[in-house]
Amino acid sequence: MRRRVLLLVGATTSLVLVAFLIPLAVLVRGVAVDRAVQGATVRAQALSSTVATADRAGLAVSVAQADATSPYDLSVFLADGTRLGAEAPRSPLVQLGARGTSASGEVPGGREIVFAVRNTAGSYDVIRAFVPGSELARGVARAWFLLALLGIALLGLSLLVADRMARRLVRATIELAGVSGRLAGGDLTARADPLAPNEFGTVARALNHLGGRITELLREERETIADLAHRVRTPLTALRLEAEALPDAGDAARIGAGVDAVQRGVTQSIEAARWRSGDGRTGCDAAEVVRERVDFWSALAEDTDRELTRDLAAPPLPVATGRGDLAACVDALLGNVFAHTPDGCAFAVRLAPRPGGVVLTVDDAGPGLPESALVRRGASGSGSSGLGLDIVRRTAARTGGDLVLDRSPLGGLRATVTFLAAP
């Protein structure tokens, strides 16, 4: 933007200077020519009375003296063919003057001026003044040089002023972009300078209003989610008590574990609702969390006759996401296996290190998910909410990773999740 402003101002100023300085330069040239011609004319006319009245000897002395003290070549052609003063050819203008006509014109090397003076015999003597080109252009080069310096100075001044203005505009633009980026990154305290120049101040005030409004809406959303999650705790507590009252200890333990998982999800929802710009999002050991969640789901796998193959790397495997988030991702992936594949369908979980992070792969031998469900948030094709995979994708993206869905070697769906470690 700054470069474009400078180019625009430079081009505009250059056009104005050209339109102003070229005519002025032509005018200076014309003034110099007129000045030289006028000076030669005055010198030649000063000899007119002498030519008309002086004798031959006195005239020769006067013409020689005038030629010696003049920057111009002065000559007098008498009617009898005698030439006095500077050497000069009998040019067509001189011949015209001998017939009684005064004139001037361009000749090679300069300008020639002739005056016809009637003598006592009734014929015409001719006074010739020759102005050389150096006299016609005297002072023109210096004037043009000064005009060029003036044009360069004006162009430089305009570019300097434009650069100062462009710097302010670019700085205001960069500041607005920076504030917008900080807001997009979750820093809701970011504010732009409302005193920015011109329309940038209006945009800054609008952006600040938007940031304040987003803060209010998020605060309301956090409180709403927190209230809703808190209300769920009461029936969960009742469900836990009923589970503990079951006569079968195994069923009681299994249902109790499920209630614990739901309880953790509720707690995470409350914490997530109160997070601000990443506050509270700490790293964790992926190997430990994945092993714990696979152990939890392995009991259900046994109950549903599913063969579980696990290949989990040894800890530590640090990743840049919280323990609760990673556990929710594993639960979402394994929950999809149990929700979307029939009982007895095998699945495999693999956790492997990679440079700067880890790769979690979940394969199943089920029918896989419809293509439409792989790309749309909230669409599952099987009656569920369809948000599980999107939660996984967003959690991985927060660490700089990604979720890739593909066909599994087992015949069903393969979900490959990349989590990066904290820098």
Asked whether the predicted pLDDT for residue 168 surpasses 60, the reply is yes
CATH superfamily of 283-423: Histidine kinase-like ATPase, C-terminal domain (3.30.565.10)
Q: What is the pLDDT of residues 362-386, one digit of tens each?
A: 999 988 765 545 444 444 444 444 5
Give dist(CA 104, CA 128) in Å, integer. 9
Asked whether the predicted pLDDT for residue 230 surpasses 80, the reply is no
Q: What is the pLDDT of residues 34-55, one digit of tens each?
A: 898 888 888 888 888 787 777 7
Per-residue confidence band for 319, with pLDDT thresholds at 50, 70 and 90? very high
Alpha helices in 194-322 (DSSP H): 199-244, 249-274, 286-303
Nearest partner of 336 among 300, 306, 313, 369, judged by Cα: 369
Structure tokens at 356: 């700067």
Q: What is the pLDDT of residues 249-286, one digit of tens each?
A: 777 777 777 777 776 666 666 655 555 444 445 688 99
AA letter at 351: L
Q: What is the pLDDT of residue 376?
A: 46
Q: What is the pLDDT of residues 395-421, one digit of tens each?
A: 899 888 999 999 999 989 999 999 998
Q: Which architecture characterizes domain 194-280 according to CATH?
A: Orthogonal Bundle (1.10)
More confident residue, 172 or 346: 346
More confident residue, 170 or 72: 72
- Residue with token string 């400078």: 6
Nearest partner of 419 among 405, 401, 398, 397, judged by Cα: 401
Structure tokens at 293: 């969640």
Give dist(CA 317, CA 351) in Å, integer. 9
Question: Is 132 strand, coil or helix?
Answer: strand
Give dist(CA 344, CA 305) in Å, integer. 5
**Pair 333, 296: CB distance under 8 Å:** no
For 387, the enclosing helix (H) or strand (E) is none
- Most confident range, picked from 185-194, 197-206, 334-343, 370-379: 334-343
Rounded to 5 degrees, φ, ψ at 81 are 95, 0
Q: What is the pLDDT of residue 311?
A: 93
Query: What value does the mean pLDDT of the chain take?
Result: 82
Give dist(CA 119, CA 333) in Å, integer. 125
Asked whether the predicted pLDDT for residue 66 surpasses 60, the reply is yes
- Residue with token string 């087992």: 410
- Tell me 39's DSSP state: H
Handedness of CA 85, 91, 97, 102 (dihedral sign): negative
Residues in Cβ contact with 413 at an 8 Å cutoff, skipping those fewer than 6 apart: 336, 340, 363, 364, 366, 368, 369, 405, 406, 407
The correct CATH number of 2-141 out of 2.60.40, 3.30.450, 3.60.60, 3.30.70 is 3.30.450
Q: What is the pLDDT of residue 382?
A: 46
> What is the pLDDT averaged over residues 391-397?
87
Cα–Cα distances in angstroms (integers) from residue 325 to residues 185, 285, 328, in the given order: 19, 12, 5
**Pair 175, 192: CB distance under 8 Å:** yes
AA letter at 161: V
Structure tokens at 270: 């409350």
Give dist(CA 121, CA 124) in Å, integer. 9
The domains of the chain are located at: 2-141, 194-280, 283-423
CA count, 13 A, side-chain hemisphere, 34: 6
Structure tokens at 301: 């796998």
Nearest partner of 282 among 322, 250, 313, 248, judged by Cα: 322
Structure tokens at 208: 């600040």
